[in-house]
Structure 1
Amino acid sequence: MNKTTLFSSLVLAASASVFSTESNLTVYTYESFTSEWGPGPALEKAFEAQCNCNVDFVGLEDGVALLNRLKLEGKQSQADIILGIDDALVAEAKALGLIADSGVDLSKLSLPYEWSDSKFVPYDYGHFAFVYDQTKLKNVPSSLKELVEESKVSIIYQDPRISTPGQGLMLWMKSVYGEKANEAWQQLQAKAVTVTPGWSEAYALFLEGQSDMVLSYVTSPAYHMTWDDTDKYQAAQFSEGHYTQIEVAAALESSANIELAREFLSFLVTKPAQDVFAGTNWMWPVLESAEKPEAFDQLFSPSSLYFSSEEVLANRRDWVKEWRNAASQ
């Protein structure tokens, strides 16, 4: 081998070594997670500092839209991780045969109900609620049935087909009304100003004064108490209980960086990561020791309503059809 050839070989080997030390981790999530006020930027910075890698968050409309994207892409997906579907969609996501075991110890997590899944890692949770401005709305419904059947309030909520909050309302309605949900949807739809694709649009319209109430979370008022220094926005407490949402993340078996993906999943439930969620995603962290804004102490603690993800998988198509038929009338 001459000197020129030897030199070229050494340069190529060195270049390969440099590029191999830094991997790219692609995370499919929802848009508000990646926003400048969401948890994405802080988590990206913290994980990149420990992993010698680049984290690329890809923001989609919402959690259900994320699952729909995964269905379309299958094993050809560019994602290493999906982050932002919720507990209701776990069985449906697992049925695709694309999800890898996480390898994460979840025994120390604090959740509204027992979690035993080995593939999906919970990172925060909350309860759906209708948020209102108490300086404007005086007759606040005290139950879902009162909201649906008696109140004269206007509402905005999200599309159950593509939005996890919208799906949460669908499951909430089903858990309270059962076989009578179709009639209840028709009554609720009469109060709806609009149905939005995702949470961000719905909440923005509410803040603009387009409705009396908006589907959001029990924790949403904590944001306004912390950053707007006002307690005028409150979540209505319903006597039947509030539907639970546990947000989860998982690695894809098709990932070219599966060990790095598992490292990220483990990172999500460490205290440095958990300290981020309450004050950015405005949800409860899954570690009790995680930092939370003081406003969280002023929130009510609802009783939890939920279906198993297997039950949702078996019925979601019919329940969406039930909603769609009522919404179109």
Structure 2
Amino acid sequence: MRTTLMLAGLFAATSAVADEKPVLTVYAPDYFTSEWGPGPAIEKGFEATCACDLKFVAGDVLPRLLLEGDRTDADVVIGLTIDVLARARATGLFAPHGQDNAALTLPVAWDDDTFLPFNWSETAFVYDTTRLANPPSSFEDLLNAPDSLKIAIQDPRSSISGLAMLLWVKAVYGDRAPEAWAKLAPKVLTVTAGWSESYGLFTDGEVDMVLSYTTSPAYHIIAEQDTTKAAAIFPEGHYFLTEVAAQLAGTDQPDLAAAFMDYVVSDDFQGMIATGNWSYPAVIKDGFLPEGFAALPRPDKTLFYSEADAEALRQPALDEWLAAFAK
């Protein structure tokens, strides 16, 4: 009897080890892993191909990586933006992604072999056509609009869209950026830590316009059958924003990490982006964009800084922004 019990215990332990799946740990922003973000569907899709357990760890991706360094548990990160890539690259933590950039359908050239885009959009001010019949038709019109126009924006120190706007203003106005911020500041009802707080103020009718993206109206068109939300398109151009994925050089699951990078540009993953992330996929093919996206206007000019230029401009541009809003 004792021998039988020992053998049974050994068999159970062996079976448990055999059944244990390898874990791929992916650091991602909070929004990505939420029930309304693309994470849950991506987790299900990748796990169907990998015989593994995909574990998302949500939070501020870059600050966590900077804190952990080469002790990080991450195998892959997703959700970094180009405006912080110089700091991310300087860590030396990342490996080449191994993908063909020629497959990407971005409005800017992309030849980076480390950071792989998975989506993109452009910053814009979104408004309700039933509440604002004559929205500003240019950035200059926005600056010269009456101070009774109320806008919500995001803090560039805590928000990727807020940082993108900082660089948008710099790209449009250059050395005149302080003057532009001084004109805009009286119209800004509030500066929120993140995008969701600002957008909530807009949908609640507390502000006339909100800093968001050219693709934001697609959500209202497709999910709510509401065509009253629109992005104001400016001839000065709109700032390009992409989110990327990257593989950690020190991962203990290199094959799984490489497989995930393959999955990022797969039809399955890219086909989820439009309505999972409410942005353009990094690889657009027939059927990837629902009909509601066809109604979205595109700017004639896409503004873009390289990661080196974005990093060099970030602190001076932030100082200009702080000077305008500290008054």
TM-score, reference length from structure 2: 0.92
Residue 328 of structure 1: aligned partner: 326
Establish whether residue 30 from structure 1 lines up as the match of residue 29 from structure 2. yes
Report the AA paired with residue 33 of structure 1: F
Residue 156 of structure 2: aligned partner: 160
Q: 1:94 aligns with which of 89, 113, 133?
A: 89
Q: Aligned residues, how many?
A: 322
Question: C-alpha deviations, 1:264-289, integer Å up to 9, x for none?
Answer: 11101111111100012111112221
**Within 1, Cα distance between the matches of 2:12 and 2:38?**
40
**Within 2, Cα distance between the matches of 1:234 and 1:33?**
24
Tell me if the contact between 1:141 and 1:151 (Cα under 8 Å) persists in the aligned partners: no
Question: C-alpha deviations, 1:178-231, integer Å up to 9, x for none?
Answer: 112122222222211111121112111211112100011111111111111121
Aligned positions of 1:199-238 closer than 5 A: 199-238=195-234
Tell me if the contact between 2:185 and 2:324 (Cα under 8 Å) persists in the aligned partners: yes
- How big is the shift at 1:326? 2.0
**Within 2, Cα distance between the matches of 1:261 and 1:59?**
18
Aligned positions of 1:34-113 closer than 5 A: 34-60=33-59, 65-113=60-108
- How big is the shift at 1:25? 1.8
**Within 2, Cα distance between the matches of 1:216 and 1:31?**
17
Establish whether residue 291 from structure 1 lines up as the match of residue 288 from structure 2. yes
Percent identity, aligned pairs only, is 42
- How big is the shift at 1:295? 0.8
* Stretches of structure 1 lacking an aligned partner (at least 5 in a row): none
Report the AA paired with residue 48 of structure 1: E
Tell me if the contact between 2:172 and 2:237 (Cα under 8 Å) persists in the aligned partners: no
**Within 2, Cα distance between the matches of 1:257 and 1:12?**
23
Question: C-alpha deviations, 1:36-71, integer Å up to 9, x for none?
Answer: 2221111111101111111222232xxxx4222221
Question: C-alpha deviations, 1:73-113, integer Å up to 9, x for none?
Answer: 22222222211111222222101111111112222111111
What secondary structure is seen at the aligned counterpart in 2 of 1:114?
coil
**Within 1, Cα distance between the matches of 2:73 and 2:186?**
42
- How big is the shift at 1:262? 1.7
* Stretches of structure 2 lacking an aligned partner (at least 5 in a row): none
Report the AA paired with residue 53 of structure 1: C
What secondary structure is seen at the aligned counterpart in 1 of 2:109?
coil
Cα pair distance change 1:309/1:13, threshold 3 Å: same
Report the AA paired with residue 235 of structure 2: S
Residue 302 of structure 2: aligned partner: 304
Establish whether residue 257 from structure 1 lines up as the match of residue 258 from structure 2. no
Establish whether residue 18 from structure 1 lines up as the match of residue 19 from structure 2. yes
Residue 172 of structure 2: aligned partner: 176
**Within 1, Cα distance between the matches of 2:212 and 2:79?**
16
Which stretch shifts more, 192-201 or 44-53? 192-201
Residue 319 of structure 1: aligned partner: 317
Tell me if the contact between 1:158 and 1:198 (Cα under 8 Å) persists in the aligned partners: yes
Tell me if the contact between 1:32 and 1:200 (Cα under 8 Å) persists in the aligned partners: no
Tell me if the contact between 1:26 and 1:79 (Cα under 8 Å) persists in the aligned partners: yes
Which stretch shifts more, 238-247 or 283-292? 283-292
- How big is the shift at 1:5? 11
Tell me if the contact between 1:278 and 1:292 (Cα under 8 Å) persists in the aligned partners: yes
**Within 2, Cα distance between the matches of 1:143 and 1:68?**
35
- How big is the shift at 1:10? 6.0
What secondary structure is seen at the aligned counterpart in 2 of 1:107?
helix
**Within 1, Cα distance between the matches of 2:12 and 2:229?**
61
**Within 2, Cα distance between the matches of 1:45 and 1:16?**
23
**Within 1, Cα distance between the matches of 2:311 and 2:268?**
34
Report the AA paired with residue 83 of structure 1: I
What secondary structure is seen at the aligned counterpart in 2 of 1:180?
helix
What secondary structure is seen at the aligned counterpart in 2 of 1:190?
helix
Report the AA paired with residue 316 of structure 1: R
- How big is the shift at 1:118? 0.7
How large is the RMSD of aligned CA atoms in angstroms?
A: 2.0
**Within 1, Cα distance between the matches of 2:322 and 2:255?**
42
Aligned positions of 1:133-152 closer than 5 A: 133-152=128-147
Tell me if the contact between 2:152 and 2:190 (Cα under 8 Å) persists in the aligned partners: yes
TM-score, reference length from structure 1: 0.92
Which stretch shifts more, 172-181 or 76-85? 76-85
Tell me if the contact between 2:126 and 2:212 (Cα under 8 Å) persists in the aligned partners: yes
- How big is the shift at 1:6? 8.6
